[in-house]
Chains A and B, each alone.
Chain A
C-alpha cells in the first residue's frame, strides 16, 4: 500500500518536473506572495528593468503555503511567509541563506525591524522584512457609545451580534491570551484551555468569523467591532470615515512578513535580485501606497508625501504601543495541533 502510494506520488512528481524542465527557467523568478500584497506595476517594472520574467502566485494563509514548499510540489524562488512560519521553515531546514552581498538595498531597512526579526530568524540570515503591522480592533464610531481601548469589548454582551471575530487560530488565541494577561506564545495547556473557555463564551456574541471579509463588512456598517490587521485599517478608513482603529491597551500581536528563499529554488540569483528590488525606496513606497501595509523601509517612509499617512499611528504606531505587542514564535507541531483542536472546539459552538 505504502509503496504504491509512494510510487504514485513519485510518478506525479516526475511528470510535474518533466513539464517544468521543458521550459527554460534561467531568466525567470517564481514568486509566491500573499493575496493583494503587491502593486502589479512593480512586477512589470522589475521585468522591464532586469529582463527577468516574474511568475507570480498568491496564497491566503501561511498554512496553505507551507505544504507546497515542504512537499516540493511547486518550486518557488521567493516566498513571503510571516514570522512564526519563517521560524518553522528554518527549523524544518526548508530555507536557503540569503547572500546579502547581492541585496545592497537592505541598508534601506530600518534596523529596528531587523532586530525584531531576530525573534524568529536569530542571525538575520534567512529573511528580509517586507511588511509589518499589528492586530487590533476596527470599530464604527457611530455604533459604539464609549471609547474602545480594550479587548474586553469583544467579549461584552452589549455588542452581541455586532462582533466580527478573526477566523485564524493563532490570531484568535493571541487576543484571548493577551486579554487574560498571558503570553501570546503560551505553551501552558491550562492557559490555552482557559483561553478556549473565553472564546467559547464569545461564540454566541460573534456575528461571523472572517479574515478578508472583515474589510467590506466593516465598510458596509455590518458590525460595530471587527478584528483586523492594521494594514487593512487605513484602506477601510478611506472608504468609511466612521471607522477607527485601535491597538488595545492589553497589547497585541505585532507581525512581520519577510521574503525568504526556499532551499529547492532554481533561480537563487534572480530571487536575490527580486528581494533587492523590493527593498528599493521608490518600489517600497509604491507598494505601500497600493497595499497600505506598513513598510519597514525607512527611506521609503521619508518619501511619503501625504503627511497624514506619514504620521499615521495606524501605519506607524508609537514605540509605547509596540512595546505592548509581541511577535509570534513557532511552538512546535504538538502544540500547534493542540491549538487547532481547541480552536475547532470553539468554532463548533459546543461547550
Chain B
C-alpha cells in the first residue's frame, strides 16, 4: 500500500515516526479496504477492459479510438465546456468568498449551511428542474412572455449545459476558497498594511497567494466532474450534444465495455494531467497537497 501513497511532506513524515506509528497506521485500514474495493479494483478492471478486445487479447485499438473525429469532437467540446464552467465558477466564487469572509458572521456554519442547502436534493432532480425552467414553454419563458420580454431559448444548447455545470458545481468552488480565506491570519494582513502595502498589493502579494490552495482544490473539484459528466449534458443538451462522458456512457450501455473503458482511460489521462499541473502550482503556494 505504501508505494501508492501520496508523497508526504517532510513535516508530516516525521510525525509518523513516533513510536505509535503502527497503531496509527491501523486506523487507515477501513479507508484502505474502501479504496481497494471501490477505487483500485474498478480501476484495474477498466485498465484490463481498455487494453483488450472482445477475444481478451491485448490491443491499443480502444485507446486509438480517441482519434476518430466523433470522439475528438466530444473530447474537445467536453474540455471547452468544463474550462468555461470552471472559469465562471471561479469568477463567481472568489468575490463571493471575500464578501462572506468580510461580513465576519458570528458563526460561519450558517454560510456553509446556505451553500450546502441545495445539495440536500439529488443533483439529477435539480438538473431536471432546470430543464423545466429553461424549456421553450418552461417557467422562465412563461414569466418573460407575461412581462412582454423576449424569450430565452438556450435549452438543448451548450449554453444550457454550462449553466447546469456552474449551478451544480459552484458550491465545490465556494467552500474551499472560503475555508482558506477565513483561516488567513488577520495579523499577516495588518503587517502588510503596516509595512506600507495598499489594498491591491495586500491582495496580490498576501491574500491571493495564501488562498491559492483553496482555489486549486476548487478548480479540481469543478473541472474534473464537469469534464466527465454525462447526466447534465444529456438532460440539458437534449442528447443532441455529445460530450466525452456521453460517448463513454453510450459505449457501456450499448454493451461495448472495451471501447468504453479505452476512452475512459484517455479521459483519465486528461484528469491526471490537470491535477499534475494544479499540484505544481499548489506546491509553489506551499499549501497542503491535494493528492
Q: Does B202 contact A (CB under 8 A)?
A: no
Name the interface residues of A85-114: CB closer than 8 Å to any CB of B.
none
Q: Does A340 contact B (CB under 8 A)?
A: yes
Q: Does A67 contact B (CB under 8 A)?
A: yes
A222 to B240, CA, bound (A): 16
CB-CB under 8 A from A350, the residues of chain B are 69-70, 73
Q: Does B74 contact A (CB under 8 A)?
A: yes
Q: Are A2 and B240 in contact (CB under 8 A)?
A: no
Number of interface residues of B (CB under 8 A): 28
A209 to B238, CA, bound (A): 6
Q: Are A347 and B242 in contact (CB under 8 A)?
A: yes
CB-CB under 8 A from A336, the residues of chain B are 254-255
A203 to B239, CA, bound (A): 11
Q: Does A167 contact B (CB under 8 A)?
A: yes
Known: A347-B240, A348-B74, A350-B69. A63 touches B254 (CB 8 A): yes
Q: Are B52 and A348 in contact (CB under 8 A)?
A: no
Contact of B255 among A1, A9, A66 (CB under 8 A): A66
**Interface residues of A, dominant DSSP:** helix
A152 to B250, CA, bound (A): 28
Instruction: Identify the closest chain A residue to B49 (Cβ).
Output: A5
A66 to B250, CA, bound (A): 14
A133 to B253, CA, bound (A): 24
Instruction: Identify the closest chain A residue to B51 (Cβ).
Output: A1
Q: Does A187 contact B (CB under 8 A)?
A: no
Q: Does B137 contact A (CB under 8 A)?
A: yes
Contact of A208 among B70, B73, B239 (CB under 8 A): B239
Q: Does A317 contact B (CB under 8 A)?
A: no
CB-CB under 8 A from B69, the residues of chain A are 350
Q: Does A123 contact B (CB under 8 A)?
A: no
Q: Does B44 contact A (CB under 8 A)?
A: yes
Name the interface residues of B109-139: CB closer than 8 Å to any CB of A.
135-137
CB-CB under 8 A from A349, the residues of chain B are 240-242
Q: Does A64 contact B (CB under 8 A)?
A: yes
CB-CB under 8 A from B253, the residues of chain A are 61, 63-64
A169, chain B: closest CB distance, angstroms: 7
Name the interface residues of A325-351: CB closer than 8 Å to any CB of B.
336-337, 340, 344-345, 347-350
CB-CB under 8 A from B255, the residues of chain A are 63, 66-67, 336
Contacts A8-B44, A61-B253, A347-B239 supplied; 12 other A-B pairs, CB < 8 Å: A5-B45, A67-B257, A207-B156, A222-B135, A340-B254, A344-B70, A344-B242, A347-B240, A347-B250, A348-B242, A350-B69, A350-B70
